[in-house]
Amino acid sequence: MTGKKRRARRGTVKWILLALAVAGLLAAGRLLPVASWTKQVEGWIAGLGAMGYAAFYAIYVVAVLLFVPGAALTIAGGFLFGLTRGTAIVSLAATTAAGLAFLIARHAARGAVEARARKDPRFTAIDEAIGERGWKIVALLRLSPAVPFSLSNYFYGLTAIRFWPYLLTSFVAMLPGTVLYVYLGAAGRAAARGEGRTPLENAYLVAGLAATVAVTVYLTRVARKALRKAGAAPDR
């Protein structure tokens, strides 16, 4: 199978899984007492006040540092806090985790991270590309990640990029993906609390999700083409 076909298959599988996640959220809202559960969780969060946000933030940061996939936590952020607040807290937590992993790799555990990086052939291409084009490559990689988010944060600490340009670039370039997954969680929240929603409101919800997916897919494809042209080749 050629590299192009492998990339196409991976992309197809990814979006099929995303569609299944949406279908699962909608089904859960209809078949399970999700509305009751949601109210209980929201009541617990509200009772904690600011500590509820702080607890989620801390759990998210620690989980990413321990290589737990962030997608599920990002969706949970949307489910618990809605689109606006969920995007804000997830963006802050993801950026914090990215910065801490970078600093750990650069100053505290460089030897261990280097040993892991040498086993991954993608790292050499990424390292060389960042050395030549700096933050621009980081931005493209955040839009179309060559390696899992949690692992890439450590890898970047071994490259030539400086900390603050890396952190700012990561914050901005991670937003499209963050909004997409938070939107999924917010859509599940809306479905769970959907009693009395009009068909027009449901149509707006679906249209917003479709638009978010479309923008994310487009940015991902643009980033992949740019990375291949730059020699980072994330999909080899």
113-149: per-residue pLDDT in tens? 777 777 776 777 777 778 777 888 888 888 876 677 8
C-alpha distances (whole Å) from 6 to each of 13, 35, 122, 223, 236 are: 11, 40, 16, 17, 9
Q: What is the pLDDT of residue 97?
A: 95
Tokens of 94: 């993801």
This prediction has a pTM of 0.74
In a domain, 158, yes or no: yes
The answer to whether residue 191 sits within a structural domain is: yes
CA distance 74 to 92: 11
For the chain, first and last CA: distance in Å? 12
Q: How far is the CA of 154 from the CAs of 18, 128, 149, 150, 158, in angstroms?
A: 26, 16, 9, 7, 7
- How far apart (Å, rounded) are the C-alpha atoms in residues 55 and 35? 22
- Look at residue 236 in the predicted model and tell me its pLDDT: 47
What per-residue confidence (pLDDT) applies to 130? 81
Confirm if 19 and 209 have CB atoms less than 8 A apart: no
Residue 198 is predicted with a pLDDT of: 58
pLDDT in tens, 99-111: 999 999 888 877 7
| Residue 172 maps to a domain | yes
pLDDT given for residue 88 in this prediction: 95
Give a yes or no: residue 48 inside a domain: yes
Cα–Cα distance between 222 and 212 in angstroms, integer? Answer: 16
What is the DSSP track for 149-182?
Answer: HHHHHHHHTTSS--HHHHHHHHHHHHHHHHHHHH
Domain that holds residue 148: 3-230
In a domain, residue 131? The reply is yes
- Number of structural domains (the chain) is 1
Helices (H), the chain: 3-31, 34-48, 50-65, 70-103, 110-118, 121-133, 135-143, 149-156, 163-192, 199-230
Cβ-contact 226, 139 below 8 angstroms: no
Q: Which residues contact 176 (CB under 8 A, 6 or more apart)?
A: 143, 215, 216, 219
- Asked if 138 and 169 touch (Cβ cutoff 8 Å), the reply is yes
Q: If we measure between CA atoms, which residue out of 103, 137, 136, 135 comes closest to residue 123?
A: 137
- Mean pLDDT, 10 residues at a time, over the chain (236 residues)? 53 58 57 56 68 88 88 86 91 96 86 74 75 82 77 85 93 90 82 60 65 69 68 52
Give the pLDDT confidence score for residue 145 in this predicted structure: 65
Q: Residue 205 contacts by C-beta under 8 Å, 6 or more apart in sequence?
A: 187, 190
Report yes or no on 236 lying in a domain.
Answer: no
235 within some domain: no
In a domain, 39, yes or no: yes
